Amino acid sequence: MPPLQGRVALVAGATRGAGRGIAVALGEAGATVYCTGRTTRERRSEYDRPETIEETAELVSAAGGHGVAVAVDHLEPDAVAALVRRIDLEQHRLDVLVNDVWGAEHLFAWNTPLWEHDLAAGLRLLRLAVDTHLITSHLALGLLTRSPGGLVVEMTDGTRDYNAVTYRNSAFYDLAKTAVLRLAFIQAHELAPHGCTAVALTPGWLRSEMMLEAFGVTEATWRDAAAVQPHFAAIAESPRYVGRAVAALAADPDVARHNGASLSSGGLAREYGFTDVDGSRPDCWRYMVEVQDAGLPADPTGYR
* Euclidean distance between CA atoms 32 and 45, whole angstroms: 25
DSSP string for 116-160? TS-HHHHHHHHIIIIIHHHHHHHHHHHHHTTSTT-EEEEE-SS-H
* Burial tier of 29 (Cβ tally within 10 Å: 0-12, 13-18, 19+): buried
- Residue 200 β-bridge partners: 154, 262
CA distances from 111 to 17, 300, 303 (A): 23, 27, 28
Please tell me which residue in 34, 47, 162, 173 is annotated as part of the active site. 173
* Euclidean distance between CA atoms 93 and 151, whole angstroms: 12
173 carries an active-site annotation: yes
* Euclidean distance between CA atoms 55 and 52, whole angstroms: 5
Q: Interhelix angle for 132-144 vs 77-91, to 10°? A: 30
Helices (H), the chain: 17-28, 53-63, 77-91, 119-126, 132-144, 160-165, 171-191, 209-214, 230-235, 239-251, 265-272, 284-287
Which residues are catalytic, by number?
173
